[in-house]
Amino acid sequence: MAYSYKGAITFGLVYIPITLVASIKNNDVGFNLLDKKTMSRVKYKKTCVDCDNREVKNEDIVKGFQYEKDKYVVFTDKDFEKLKTKKDKNITISQFVNVNEVDPIYFDKAYYVKPIGAEKAFEVLLDAMEKENKAGIAKAVLGTKETLIMIRAKDGNMLVNTLFFANEVLKAPQIKKLKPIKKEVDLAVTLINQMTGKFEPEKFKDEYNIKLKKAIKQKIAGNDIVEYVEKEEPSKIINLMEALEKSLKGKTKNA
């Protein structure tokens, strides 16, 4: 988790003490940076501009806002906490919306919600949201940043999704619109329908991660990495109609 949160979800006069639990684990393979001559670890040393390359320890580092050139005001953790009202510290639901109204472009991170008191109120809120397919929209200060939040129910669990604010989401780039040919659209619709199925996330594996771990074992054993070659190289077809028709024929054969 980027932060640890213990607080409460509130709506109306209902107060539910909760904690947030990570919903995602990181499966990335970690690599260290090495000096290629000595094979020694490369370290990053924190220094300050006027310290003559002296290393600064974490306990001696503070946060400062530059209001003029080389002039700063320092903020401590206590200063940040003083700015938070009780409402800021809690996840206060301001309204409910239909779950499908929230565009996924606003989604940031997801956490499971675990009650640490008022379990009955927690279950009532969870069941009511799931029954009505509603999500609660709230704000809270997490760490030192005010965060927009969506609280939703999914398969008997309550989740918190942190959301981006509207002014953080960039507008789509302008694209020159071309009027498509009806036959091309019809073929595309047919192909999409043939390729449509139920989303089963467990069917999708991180194949590159698997190959990377296998390559690490090969390197440890002193072997060279074997280059992976695609079984079928995608053919380059310039004509859209031809590409759609051949795609459909391929899907029909595999059906």
Using DSSP's 3-state secondary structure scheme, residue 41 falls into strand
pLDDT at 1 over 50: no
Q: Are 170 and 163 in contact (CB under 8 A)?
A: no
Q: Are 107 and 100 in contact (CB under 8 A)?
A: no
CB neighbourhood size of 40 (10 A):
9
Question: Which tokens go with 31?
Answer: 């690599």
109-151 pLDDT per residue, tens:
999 999 998 999 999 999 999 999 999 999 988 877 889 999 9
247 versus 32: the higher-pLDDT residue is 32
44 versus 137: the higher-pLDDT residue is 137
180-217 pLDDT per residue, tens:
889 989 989 998 898 899 999 899 898 888 888 998 89
| Exposure string for 142-165, b = 16+ CB within 10 A, e = fewer | beeeebbbbbbbeeeebbbbbbee
End-to-end CA separation in angstroms for the chain: 43
Largest alpha-carbon pair distance within the chain? 71
Q: Which residues contact 216 (CB under 8 A, 6 or more apart)?
A: 29
Alpha helices in the chain (DSSP H): 77-82, 86-89, 119-132, 182-194, 207-220, 240-254
What is the sign, positive or negative, of the torsion defined by CA atoms of 31, 36, 40, 42? negative
| Alpha-carbon gap, residue 116 to 6, rounded angstroms | 9
Reported pTM: 0.76
Domain spans in the chain, listed from the N-terminal domain onward:
6-27+82-168, 182-254
The CATH architecture to which 6-27+82-168 belongs is Beta Barrel (2.40)
135 versus 48: the higher-pLDDT residue is 135
Q: Where are the beta strands (DSSP E) in the chain?
A: 6-11, 14-22, 63-68, 71-75, 91-98, 107-115, 134-142, 145-154, 157-163
Pick the most confident of 40-54, 70-84, 157-171, 199-213.
157-171
Percent of the chain whose pLDDT exceeds 70: 92
Percent of the chain whose pLDDT exceeds 90: 49
